[in-house]
A and B are shown apart, each in its own frame.
Chain A
Amino acid sequence: MSKRLILNTNLLDITLNRLCQQLIENHNDFSNSVIIGMQPRGYFPAKRIQEKLEFLLNKTILIGRLDTTFYRDDFRRRETPIKANTTDIPFIIEGKKVILIDDVLFTGRTVRSALDAMTAFGRPDKVELLVLIDRKYTRELPIEADYVGKYVDSVFSQRVLAEWKEQGCQEDAIWLET
């Protein structure tokens, strides 16, 4: 098992800053936009982005956490079932522009289940997808991100691993594991 560093803490910070600028370009003052981080690992970059946006725009940005375990398409098909995490969306998404954030876009199935899960909360005006890492050529559904941190060429047997300070790691970093 070998690990190659894709983004170190500094580069990750620069990437997050650039993504924030892109978001502001499209969403202006965020008056009708909200952020939803996908559980379990999308919430960490989502929180970083929320904090940066709040600093840049000097206002509160709404953020929620969405767990998609009950909407997965591999229920009763896995050797080990997945354990659900918390969903906490303390605002109404009806009529809002939602920015869905995850750390890695791989097959696209998690995003599909997130779109389904969101319909339980209302009908957003628009949903955009922001990912830190887009693994090219591994999509199993026709789903693409609107904002991408970094594109990575990888094969199925490899794994992209995001490490966050909140999980107890020394510093934020993104690795490619072979």
Chain B
Amino acid sequence: MSSLSVKHLLGIKNLTPQDINLILETATNFKEVLNRPIKKVPSLRDITIANVFFENSTRTRLSFELAQKRLSADVINFSSSSSSVKKGETLLDTVNNILAMKVDMIVMRHQSPGAPHFLSKHIKANIINAGDGTHEHPTQALLDAFSIKEKLGELEGKKIAIIGDILHSRVALSNIFLLQKMGAQVMVCGPSTLIPKYISEIGVIVETDVKKALKWCDVANVLRIQLERQQIKYFPSLREYSLYFGINKKMLDELDKQILLMHPGPINRGVELSSDAADSNHSIILDQVENGVAIRMAVLYLLASVKQN
């Protein structure tokens, strides 16, 4: 199969395992392109893409922009903090104004879950969800899976522990969907106040002891405490969180095996991960960032490759 079954990348929920494999294989080819002397292919040279970010971002925004430029697309960037959204312009108006300038694809990050889904019902352009509130972040899950596959060979049967603020994490949810679709086992670990109450119904193991989680897993995907999304206090203090759930190098060395340590970024050094753990040889955090560009190139390329009339 050489094309995706979806027109937009709204979430991992809508992807089939064949779609996921196609994206991962295509990303392998693009990773090779990124190691050439001239890191550019002309495929998307007739396409204009708007990066519409209503929430802050470093990695995702830069990664998408770089991926688009490597594919020779024209890129325009929109960030709500310096736009007419501050004057009260609605989401649909903002996007329709951008589309009136003949933009072919939209990459959007928005604080409301379902915002890209809403948009997909009203506009013709391809939409890529770069994160919608606490719902999904599909390209992050894809690059996480790619990074795991790169180091461990396969996803099927592998044990991945997602550790941290599961309740507010779109990275956690997208990862859970993807890893389960690809036959991996998933555990979520964190303070019980930060684990959704009925999450075991979707087939994940729930654990509140981080040492047990590390012992069980092949891969530990550590999440940031999403302070900006917490209206109430879910734990007494950051210091207490890091005492009970923080991961340091000593804990990793005490395991009788080598596990992979991942983090979507940005890291709160000293909270969920100590510096010596983040910079240790278990960590593939910077590989994740490198792979992010290749994965986003694959997604953009595959969504664009549908025949135009």
Task: Tell me, yes or no, whether A55 is within 8 Å of chain B by CB.
Answer: no
Which of A67, A76, A79, A122 has most B Cβ within 10 Å? A76
Residue in B22, B38, B305 whose beta carbon sits within 8 Å of that of A75 in the complex:
B305
- Chain B residues closer than 8 Å to A75, beta-carbon distance: 43, 304-305
B26 touches A84 (CB 8 A): yes
- Indicate with 1 or 0, residue by residue over A82-101, a CB within 8 angstroms of chain B CB atoms: 11111110000000000000
Chain B: interface size category: 20 to 34
Docked CA distance A119–B136 (Å):
39
A121 touches B36 (CB 8 A): yes
A82 touches B42 (CB 8 A): no
Task: Tell me, yes or no, whether B232 is within 8 Å of chain A by CB.
Answer: no
- Indicate with 1 or 0, residue by residue over B171-207, a CB within 8 angstroms of chain A CB atoms: 0000000000000000000000000000000000000
Chain B: minimal CB distance from A69 (Å): 8
Chain A: minimal CB distance from B45 (Å): 9
B307 touches A79 (CB 8 A): yes
B43 touches A70 (CB 8 A): yes
Residue in A67, A71, A85, A86 whose beta carbon sits within 8 Å of that of B42 in the complex:
A71
Chain A: minimal CB distance from B204 (Å): 33
Task: Tell me, yes or no, whether A78 is within 8 Å of chain B by CB.
Answer: yes
Chain A: minimal CB distance from B110 (Å): 28
B37 touches A120 (CB 8 A): yes
Residue of A nearest to B39 (CB): A120
B40 touches A120 (CB 8 A): yes
A77 touches B37 (CB 8 A): no
Residue in A67, A76, A116, A122 whose beta carbon sits within 8 Å of that of B304 in the complex:
A76
Docked CA distance A88–B35 (Å):
11
- Chain A residues closer than 8 Å to B38, beta-carbon distance: 119-121
Chain B: minimal CB distance from A34 (Å): 16
Residue in A70, A80, A82 whose beta carbon sits within 8 Å of that of B33 in the complex:
A70
Task: Tell me, yes or no, whether B253 is within 8 Å of chain A by CB.
Answer: no
A86 touches B29 (CB 8 A): yes
**CB under 8 Å from chain B, chain A span 116-150:** 116, 119-122
- Chain B residues closer than 8 Å to A88, beta-carbon distance: 32
Residue in B29, B36, B306 whose beta carbon sits within 8 Å of that of A76 in the complex:
B306
- Chain A residues closer than 8 Å to B37, beta-carbon distance: 120-122
Task: Tell me, yes or no, whether A81 is within 8 Å of chain B by CB.
Answer: yes
The 7 lowest CB-CB distance pairs between A and B, nearest first, are A70-B41, A81-B305, A120-B38, A83-B2, A84-B29, A76-B308, A120-B36
Task: Tell me, yes or no, whether B301 is within 8 Å of chain A by CB.
Answer: yes
18 contacts between A and B (CB under 8 A): A67-B29, A70-B29, A70-B41, A70-B301, A76-B304, A76-B305, A76-B307, A77-B307, A80-B2, A81-B305, A81-B306, A83-B2, A83-B25, A87-B29, A116-B42, A120-B37, A120-B38, A120-B40
B interface majority secondary structure:
loop
Q: Using a CB–CB distance below 8 Å, which chain B residues touch chain A?
A: 2-3, 22, 25-26, 28-29, 32-33, 36-43, 46, 301-302, 304-308
Residue in B2, B42, B46 whose beta carbon sits within 8 Å of that of A70 in the complex:
B42
Residue of B nearest to A76 (CB): B308
- Chain B residues closer than 8 Å to A86, beta-carbon distance: 28-29, 32
- Chain B residues closer than 8 Å to A87, beta-carbon distance: 29, 32-33
Docked CA distance A80–B305 (Å):
9
**CB under 8 Å from chain B, chain A span 29-56:** none
* Given contacts A70-B41, A70-B43, A116-B42, A77 and B308 within 8 Å (CB-CB): yes
- Chain A residues closer than 8 Å to B46, beta-carbon distance: 76
Residue of B nearest to A93 (CB): B37
Residue of B nearest to A68 (CB): B41
Docked CA distance A82–B25 (Å):
13
Chain A: minimal CB distance from B155 (Å): 20
Docked CA distance A79–B3 (Å):
10
Residue of B nearest to A117 (CB): B41
- Chain B residues closer than 8 Å to A80, beta-carbon distance: 2-3
Which of A77, A87, A120 has most B Cβ within 10 Å? A120
Residue of B nearest to A75 (CB): B43
A82 touches B2 (CB 8 A): yes
Docked CA distance A79–B43 (Å):
17
Docked CA distance A22–B301 (Å):
41
B3 touches A81 (CB 8 A): yes
